[in-house]
């Protein structure tokens, strides 16, 4: 089994030093950069758009890293091509924003990106059942999306376990990503439940330690 990987969320980065901080994470061996896109409609916060993805792109490419874009926006299909052109390798949409989810997933492949789907903490896994065979990534939100620095919702662990069983039952090799409130002290529990990719924002870009030190603390907690 591959060791669980970290996906630092740049939402908590210092945007005046974004390139430097992304590079520090990549230098520390990170292979995935998570980008949180919020529109002020689906979620209360407004964050970033394709311009920032395009700015991160040359740095990520230099390291062969994946740009993982989490779209917390209404009508995401309107922006898929823009984000793909900017450099998104993975485009993840919320089931709550996609009445024609299968069509949206096909549209993501159509723009040359890998499709991911995600759901809010109160949305049941059954909402994903029919789409699982078509996606490359499933993201469990372990907080209500909108802001970094919130606390992990404890019932997420059981949801991760149940999703792992659903993926295994259909022989899916999709990535199982978890996002929200991931810290060194719960990372091992989340990994043991079946996650393959852990998003961490404030625990990597916040606090007094350097990005590299924060990543090292995660690695120690995960035993990798
Ligand atoms: C929130 C975002 C998360 C966020 C996680 O809606 O989807 O990716 O950056 O931040 P932390 O790790 O601080 O909970
Ligand atoms: Zn996210």
One DSSP character per residue, 70-136 reads: EEESSSGGGTHHHHHHHT-SEEEEEGGG-TTHHHHHHHHHHTT-EEEEEE-TTS-GGGGTTTGGG-S
Contacts of 170 (CB under 8 A, 6+ apart): 132, 133
Q: Whose CA is nearest to atom 10 of ligand 1?
A: 148
In this prediction, residue 162 carries a pLDDT of 98
> Ligand 1: residues within 6 Å at CB?
9, 11-12, 34, 36, 70, 143, 145-146, 148-150, 179-182, 199-203
Determine the Cα–Cα distance for residues 46 and 146; give it in Å rounded to an integer: 8
Please, which pLDDT band fits residue 3 given cuts at 50, 70 and 90?
confident
SS3 state at 8: strand
Q: What are 104-138's pLDDT values in tens digits?
A: 999 999 999 999 999 999 999 999 999 999 999 99
Q: What is the pTM of this model?
A: 0.98
Tokens of 111: 């723009």
């Amino acid at each position: 089994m591959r060791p669980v990987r970290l996906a630092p969320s740049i939402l908590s980065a210092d945007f005046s030093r974004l390139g430097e901080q992304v590079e520090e994470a990549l230098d520390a061996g990170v292979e995935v950069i998570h980008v949180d896109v919020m529109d002020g409609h689906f979620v209360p916060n407004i964050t970033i758009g394709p311009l920032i993805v395009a700015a991160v792109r040359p740095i990520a490419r230099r390291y062969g890293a994946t740009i993982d874009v989490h779209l917390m926006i209404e009508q995401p299909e309107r922006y898929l091509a823009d984000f793909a052109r900017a450099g998104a390798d993975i485009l993840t949409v919320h089931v709550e924003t996609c009445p024609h989810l299968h069509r949206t997933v096909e549209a993501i492949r159509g723009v040359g990106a890998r499709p991911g789907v995600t759901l809010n903490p109160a949305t049941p896994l059954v909402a994903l059942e029919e789409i699982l065979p078509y996606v490359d990534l499933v993201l469990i939100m372990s907080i209500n999306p909108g802001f970094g620095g919130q606390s992990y919702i404890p019932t997420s662990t059981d949801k991760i376990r149940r999703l792992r069983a659903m993926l295994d039952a259909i022989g899916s090799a999709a990535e199982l990503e978890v996002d929200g409130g991931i810290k060194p002290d719960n990372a091992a529990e989340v990994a043991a439940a079946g996650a393959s990719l852990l998003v961490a924002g404030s625990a990597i870009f916040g606090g007094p330690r350097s990005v590299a030190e924060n990543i090292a603390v995660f690695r120690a907690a995960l035993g990798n």
